[in-house]
Structure 1
Amino acid sequence: MNQPWINPAAAIHRWARISGSDPAIIHDDGTLTFTELSRRVRRTAAVLAAGGARRGSRVAYLGMNSPLFLETLLAAAHLGAVFVPVNFRLAPDEVAYVLGNAGCHSVVAEDGHRELADGIADSVPVRRFYLDGEDGDGRWQPIGGNPADPVAPADLTDPAAPADPVPVGADDVALLMYTSGTTGRPKGVILTYGNLWWNQVNVQAAIDIRPRAATLAVAPLFHIGGLNAFTLGTLTRGGAVVLRRAFDPQRCLQDVARYRIASTFMVPVMFAAMLRSEDFARTDLSSLRAAVVAGAPVPPALVAEYAEHGVALQQAWGLTETAPFATYLPPHLVRTHPASAGFAMPYSEVRVLSPRTGLPVTDPGVPGELCVRGPNVMRGYWNDPEATSAAIDADGWFSTGDLGFLDEQGLCYIVDRLKDLIISGGENVSPAEIERVLAEFPGVRDVAVVGVPDPRWGQTPVAVLCHGGEPPTLDAVRAFTSERLARFKLPTGVVHLEALPRNASGKIDRAALRALVTGGSGNGTRNLMEKGRS
């Protein structure tokens, strides 16, 4: 059943009628009102429609945080198309894989990413557009695309898109968000309009933020936390989004005070950087009712330090697959339970399964795999029924791969990850992906990648190599991998071993390997970067 009100584009057009002069997006170049945002959304939809995008077409965005990101998302929703945000930090091969796997029809690229879009044109047959004009009112132009079916520049005064947003249902696909997996290839997480909407309902029910209050968006919008923790929900409720292209701790503090920011989502490394700023102690943060931290392990000491300055740093837990929140810690429990990720969200359920028996754990404090069920849980993985059936059971429970427990009150605590993903500065880094690249390094006989603790990034990847000749230096390893991997995935250290530790079944014993690497001892040589990730 179609539910027109669930379409976020419809909400933007509605606010343009109700209070069009109010700010919608405050960004580095100025302010967009709801009237201006609505107009731009219709124009972008016209460009995409003129290029052939229709309901169900996948429309990708390649660029940093900007109004254009949100305009493209909303324009895709206006058409009933599927929005595919691409991590701008990825290497060209990785971007090409995402676009090809999603079957993208069109790519909207910021002008700064035009070279990347052009560079993969021959390997990915998509129409590519960029905006000619920094003010956002310039003419859209096609670049590349299918030579046999060129797309003429759209006349933005004569929209080709439908006048009103396409009605959508809760089960219709809204987003494809790609997340690293243990197989080494990103998986496309299918998020429906219902998933996005129910997460916002959870946020409104559990988190103390007022309608139309301003939010600060500095986490990357291509991550579900940056996009749907507060950003999209704030816009659809008529509030202002203070949007920054990149994170700057001093600028964040200034924004909170100047715009009376009520909510923000950041990963721990961001909140830690703000705490270290010399302006932190003298900045008025009293408006910040919902400072939510998630996306990586949260040090209790960080929560405690913010509490001493009168800010309740509220930990949450979730994944791309849960759109994003599964749990949330109310502010009144921050001081007494700083290590907890909180209670299950109001319209979500969380349970613990024994990894050994597969049965629910009923005793408090006993760790197991955390599972989530609710209308915010993804529909599945794109074109991957096997991965979908492995992750979601017949009763709708999603197995997260995270190890945790519930206490007597039902508070959730995250212990570790069952999967081998490395979380570095809020980014998911797949060891298998790096291993696949390093396996092609000349002379490498065997390779494994593990995460090691890092005071700034939480974790960084370290490569363990078995080499048949002269062991390569760290610089050589980073230079080799930089051609095919994003910078945040490059190893920050190299350990050379004669042989990798393996268990009885022949699989790499990652626990033993991690202990060897972090301890700096064993039968190998160690060559770690002193300065951490660059």
Structure 2
Amino acid sequence: MTRPEPRAFGPSADLNPATAVARNARHQGDSVVVRYAGGDLTYARLDDKAARLASVLRAGGVAPGDRVAYLGLNSSAFLVTMLAVFRLGAVFVPVNFRLAEPELRGVLGGSGAMVIVCEEGHRTSVEAVRGETELGRFLLIDDDPEVPAASEAPGWEPWAPLIADAPPSGEPVPQHADDPAILMFTSGTSGTPKGVVLTHGNAWWNSVNVELRLDTRRGDVTYASAPLFHIGALNTFVLRTLVRGGTVVVPRAFDPQACLDDLVTHRVNSMFGVPQMFTALARVPGVFDSDLSALRSVVVAGAPVSPSLIRLYADHGVLLQQAWGLTETAPFATHLPAEHTLDKAGSAGIPMPYTQVRVVDAGTNEPLKPHEPGEIVARGPNVTVGYWNNPKATAAAFDSEGWFHSGDIGYFDEDGFLYIVDRLKDMIISGGENVYPAEVERILSAMPGVVDVAVVGVADEQWGETVAAVVTAADDAQITLDDVREYAAHHLARYKLPRRLKLVRPMPRNASGKLDKAVIRRLATEEN
């Protein structure tokens, strides 16, 4: 018997999410896919609107590989634009709506985007930088009651009449594993933001990892209140929910009380958030008396998670599952399974099924033994192919064996669970001892009266560097350096204890919501 030739299903499979949404529109067109205050959308309406917008974009010259930017808060328009871009085989560029004009100039100019879809609240910022970009077409969202458009906006085309008059674009362009899907820019805390190229294969393999590790199901309801311009919010649950025929609840932004109301009303099954969101949610009166029984996949990432926060939720039947990754890993390389939420509290979990993760010596690149901290590296089909128009940065990020070097410090325990220690560049060397700010922050975040905390190193004549804590205290709290040192001494070695304390309100954060360590370092040197 002649053995048949193997078929290369992987490279030839159509991984385009727009294709899946079109399929859902045919078979469950009346199902609501987007719950949004500005108007819900069924699968049929979402697919039709995306197909018509794709025709509008194509008529303006958008072709496969071209970049189309989106600037605005979370909304149904974000999803419509993304799917329209995917339909054409073009590349979607979600822009951080918190960027200052110089940062916006770098992202829009660096992406080479030729079209931007924008909300009214950000139109003037785009106009201020448009001359230093390749943008040639400007579409203004004018059919969202949550963000009314200006009656006069010279140079901008209201998108509603364009979409209404355009014919649907036909079938989406098939997209394969190596085809670029999303160009997502990093926050740029260490310099000029880098554009991370994420392919359809990157997004698809992350979804496979998520489905194998988390309890996700067809028809799930997911809650998308974290900014969708971040890969964590977009690709943990939202993209896969669209593909699998579920429902996405899209608030404009995160509000703790509104979040609780939505979780209960819509019987939400899955949610991604950063630790600060779950800390704020826990403070809502009656939160743990509410019916949260539908929640079964709750991923928290983006910053170290306090074990006390994990235990608080677990005591009330909600298991927060920590994960680790970056934009470059689309987003997750590790995940803590729900059954280990308590016995491995504080861990970022185990490697995803189709992702390899190591901890290596930053100097020799050799793997380290359990409990030895080193740089975390990752390799797998969910890892970016590189940085947009930046071969130097790409070469610096990948070694000769294809491992992506994250710049994060961590260690594996004897059971193979990863613990995140800190960023390599943020490590403090005090008196020859390594101090990892994230470890100190994790301890101090559980201190009574502490609302927010950041730890940095400041110059010291005796020790070279010393530990400084920058703290936002509760309104009724009186916190002194002695208080901080006394509390931390129960958990940390003495050389890790803060020697300086700076009280601030609010805590400085950058456009991505992360601690702005440059500003914090400056504040740490000032007297209260």
TM-score (norm 2): 0.79
Which runs of no fewer than 5 residues in structure 2 stay unpaired? Answer: 1-9, 428-440, 472-479, 483-498, 510-528
CA distance in 1, matches of 2:268, 2:49: 25
- The aligned counterpart of 2:438 is none
CA distance in 1, matches of 2:186, 2:130: 23
- Judging changes above 3 Å, is the alpha-carbon distance between structure 1 residues 225 and 39 closer, same or farther for their aligned structure 2 residues? same
Q: What letter is aligned with 2:333? A: A
The 5-angstrom pairing of residues 45-444 of structure 1 reads 45-126=54-135, 127-134=137-144, 155-156=162-163, 159=166, 162-181=169-188, 183-361=190-368, 363-420=369-426
Q: What does the per-residue CA deviation read over 1:247-304, in whole Å, with 9 as the maximum and x for residues that have no partner?
A: 0111111111111111000000000111111021211111110111100111111001
CA distance in 2, matches of 1:329, 1:387: 30
Instruction: Give SS of 1:53's match.
Output: coil
The structural deviation recorded for 1:342 is 0.6
- Judging changes above 3 Å, is the alpha-carbon distance between structure 1 residues 300 and 120 closer, same or farther for their aligned structure 2 residues? same
Of 496, 507, 513, which residue of structure 2 is paired with 1:532?
A: 507
- Judging changes above 3 Å, is the alpha-carbon distance between structure 1 residues 249 and 461 closer, same or farther for their aligned structure 2 residues? farther
The structural deviation recorded for 1:357 is 2.5
- The aligned counterpart of 1:39 is 48
- Judging changes above 3 Å, is the alpha-carbon distance between structure 1 residues 218 and 525 closer, same or farther for their aligned structure 2 residues? closer
Instruction: Give SS of 1:180's match.
Output: coil
| Contact 1:49 1:160 (C-alpha < 8 Å) held by counterparts | no
The 5-angstrom pairing of residues 477-516 of structure 1 reads 512=465, 514-515=467-468
- Judging changes above 3 Å, is the alpha-carbon distance between structure 1 residues 360 and 16 closer, same or farther for their aligned structure 2 residues? same
- The aligned counterpart of 2:477 is none
CA distance in 1, matches of 2:425, 2:367: 19
Q: What letter is aligned with 1:102? A: S
The structural deviation recorded for 1:515 is 3.9
- Judging changes above 3 Å, is the alpha-carbon distance between structure 1 residues 525 and 420 closer, same or farther for their aligned structure 2 residues? closer
CA distance in 2, matches of 1:89, 1:182: 14
In terms of mean alpha carbon deviation, does 174-183 or 407-416 score higher? 174-183
Q: What letter is aligned with 1:512? A: E
| Contact 2:48 2:168 (C-alpha < 8 Å) held by counterparts | no
The structural deviation recorded for 1:123 is 2.6
CA distance in 2, matches of 1:42, 1:200: 24
Q: What letter is aligned with 2:380? A: G
CA distance in 2, matches of 1:151, 1:240: 28
- Judging changes above 3 Å, is the alpha-carbon distance between structure 1 residues 112 and 318 closer, same or farther for their aligned structure 2 residues? same
- The aligned counterpart of 2:4 is none
CA distance in 2, matches of 1:279, 1:412: 34
Instruction: Give SS of 1:341's match.
Output: coil
- Judging changes above 3 Å, is the alpha-carbon distance between structure 1 residues 402 and 276 closer, same or farther for their aligned structure 2 residues? same
Q: What does the per-residue CA deviation read over 1:57-95, in whole Å, with 9 as the maximum and x for residues that have no partner?
A: 110000000011111111110011111111000111211
| Contact 2:38 2:144 (C-alpha < 8 Å) held by counterparts | no
RMSD (Å) for aligned C-alpha atoms: 3.4
- The aligned counterpart of 1:475 is none
Q: Aligned residue pairs: how many?
A: 458
Instruction: Give SS of 2:185's match.
Output: strand
Which runs of no fewer than 5 residues in structure 1 stay unpaired? Answer: 422-449, 465-499, 504-508
| Contact 2:50 2:84 (C-alpha < 8 Å) held by counterparts | yes
CA distance in 1, matches of 2:231, 2:125: 23
| Contact 2:323 2:334 (C-alpha < 8 Å) held by counterparts | yes
| Contact 1:129 1:142 (C-alpha < 8 Å) held by counterparts | no
TM-score (norm 1): 0.79
- Judging changes above 3 Å, is the alpha-carbon distance between structure 1 residues 334 and 141 closer, same or farther for their aligned structure 2 residues? same
- Judging changes above 3 Å, is the alpha-carbon distance between structure 1 residues 383 and 145 closer, same or farther for their aligned structure 2 residues? farther
CA distance in 1, matches of 2:50, 2:402: 35
Q: What does the per-residue CA deviation read over 1:467-500, in whole Å, with 9 as the maximum and x for residues that have no partner?
A: xxxxxxxxxxxxxxxxxxxxxxxxxxxxxxxxx6
CA distance in 2, matches of 1:157, 1:90: 31
CA distance in 2, matches of 1:407, 1:319: 21
Q: What letter is aligned with 2:465? A: A
